[in-house]
């Protein structure tokens, strides 16, 4: 499967991180039990108006977004399956500082859940 998407990450309730991404994955809808793998790569927007936000005494803007998930797909009937998964998201932020040697700021977040696949 391939596609594009967007979602909202809420690790800061005042300013959500909104990644927009391309995704590619594997899910075999013909088998009762199948591997489920999905990878997303894109850009995360931090603060909808594009202005930098002060976090941990530095000012940050959005940056690279990556997410990888893996699990097992279980067929429920001919048109529906569920796929419990675990994964990791990598969110990079661009620091806006006076100095040019500022380090990139990023967060890695472990995620888990259940996907419902309808085909």
Q: Where are the domains of the chain?
A: 2-118
Choice between 38 and 1, residue whose per-residue pLDDT is larger: 38
Q: List Cα–Cα distances, 28 to 36, 72, 79, 116, in angstroms.
A: 8, 10, 12, 14
d(CA 82, CA 42): 25
Please give the pLDDT value at position 98: 52
Please give the pLDDT value at position 64: 87
Residue 18, token pair as written in the block: 């909104």
Residue 61, token pair as written in the block: 């803007």
Please give the pLDDT value at position 107: 75
Residue 98, token pair as written in the block: 């006076």
List of residues 6+ apart from 32 with CB closer than 8 A: 74, 75
Please say if the pLDDT value at position 48 is more than 70. Answer: no
Please say if the pLDDT value at position 55 is more than 70. Answer: no
């Amino acid at each position: 499967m391939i596609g594009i998407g967007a979602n909202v990450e809420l690790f800061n309730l005042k300013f959500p991180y909104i990644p927009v991404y391309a995704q590619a994955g594997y899910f075999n809808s013909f088998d009762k039990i199948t591997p489920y793998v999905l990878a997303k790569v894109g850009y995360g927007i931090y603060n909808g108006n594009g202005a930098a936000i002060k976090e941990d005494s530095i000012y940050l803007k959005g940056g690279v977004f990556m997410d990888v998930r893996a699990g097992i797909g279980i067929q429920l009937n001919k048109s529906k399956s569920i796929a419990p998964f675990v994964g990791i998201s990598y969110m990079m932020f661009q620091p806006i500082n006076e100095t040019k040697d500022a380090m990139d700021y990023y967060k890695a977040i472990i995620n888990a859940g259940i996907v419902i696949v309808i085909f």
